[in-house]
Amino acid sequence: MELKNDDQNFEEFHLDQPRGDRKKQENLKPEHSVQAADPMRGKCPPLVFYILLGVSILLSVVVLGTAVILFTGVSEKTSLSLAEPRTNISQLEDITQMLSKMKMSDTDLKMEISQLKSTDSELFSEMKTSGVDFKMELSQMKQNVSELFSEMKTADDDFKMEFTQLKRKFTEWSAKLAAIENKFQQQISDLQQNDPRCTPCATGWRYFEGKCYQFSESSKNWHEANLDCFSKQSYLIVIRTNQQQNFMKATIMGQRCWIGLNDLTVEGQWNWVDGTDSKATKMFWASGEPNNERNNEHCVEARFDGKWNDAPCTFDFRWICERPSFPCVTN
């Protein structure tokens, strides 16, 4: 609308010119008349004017947008710059609280370290004292062990001497027993010829196949049982036949009893107390016997079932004494 108004004003301006001027123009030279004949020369075309106007509007919009953007950025920076001090103050307070806590923790840590040092010192002192006591006790224990070892060695030597003496006495008793048996046999032979009233065995003895047997009512170890038989001019039973084994089994009635077999002289070499060769007699060992368990089984017992078992000579069992029958003994 403003462009149109400008064109109208421009035309009115030319229309309002005095007529005298028009005449002057008509009287001008031909070249001047030529110029007047083109009234648009010297004027700005409407298209260019519109373009310039559009460009100016566009520039105005750009400037206005730039100003708005700059103003927004400045506002944000201003708000950020205003918020930063508050944030810094909050962080500073947090750091102050943290430093205070660290200071308190450091104090507590120092106190704990001091207590630990004190405890460590006391513990080290106690350990040092305990170490001294332990060394003294260890020394005393070594001395005691040394003394005990010496005593055990002495006892072992004494035991070996006693064992050697017992073996020698056992050999002597075996020889004496053999001599006694021969003497009895001679007496029996003489009495049988002179006194037909004699009975086979004394009171308390049982007769079987020419022998007399006594079954004990108490229990003793093997050596004591053997001595008891010697004191009665007899010996521990010597089993030579199946008949003797069955007689012994039926008589003991489930009792465990010592018999006259042993390997006291040589391990594994079994001997009868009367000197009878064990290889010449039948053996009635239980299954898995003899086994010399713990290297301490050198005397033989008849078990509850009559089977033989090697056992420690120190065990207490009943025993059976055997001797030749005496047809001349009167009751």
Single-letter amino acid, residue 48? V
From CA 261, how far away is CA 244, in angstroms rounded? 14
Cα end-to-end distance, the chain, whole Å: 180
Q: From 235, 311, 239, select the one nearest 273 (Cα to Cα).
A: 235
> With the C-alpha atoms ordered 273, 268, 296, 168, is the resulting torsion angle positive or negative?
positive
Packed helices 222-231 and 46-194: angle between N→C axes, nearest 10 degrees: 0
Read off the tokens for 113. Answer: 């370290």
| Local confidence band at 23 (pLDDT 50, 70, 90 cut-offs) | very low
Q: Is the dihedral of CA 319, 321, 322, 326 positive or negative?
A: negative
CA 146, 152, 158: angle at the middle one, nearest 5?
140
Specify the pTM: 0.44
Q: Which helix (H) or strand (E) is 324 found in, with range?
A: strand 318-324
Confidence of residue 20 (pLDDT cuts 50, 70, 90): very low
List pLDDT tens digits, range 116-159.
888 878 888 888 888 888 888 888 888 899 888 888 888 888 88
- CA angle in degrees (0–180, nearest 5) for 64-65-71: 90
pLDDT at 9 (0 to 100): 44
Between the alpha carbon of residue 108 and those of residues 104, 114, 119, the distances in Å are 6, 10, 16
Compare 310 and 153 and report the one with higher pLDDT.
310
What does the block give as tokens for 130?
Answer: 């305990």
| Cα(328)–Cα(200) distance, integer angstroms | 7
Amino acid code (one letter) for 181: E
Beta bridge partners, 257, equal: 302, 318
pLDDT at residue 195, rounded to an integer: 57
Amino acid residing at 148: L
pLDDT (tens digit, 9 = 90+) per residue, 280-294? Answer: 889 999 999 999 999
CB-CB contact of 298 with 190 (8 Å): no
Tell the CATH superfamily of the 174-324 domain: Mannose-Binding Protein A, subunit A (3.10.100.10)
| Total residues found in the chain within this entry | 331
Q: What is the pLDDT of residues 226-250, one digit of tens each?
A: 999 999 999 999 999 999 999 999 9
State residue 185's pLDDT score.
64
Q: Where are the domains of the chain?
A: 174-324
Cα–Cα dist 3/178, whole Å: 173
Q: What pLDDT score does 240 carry?
A: 92
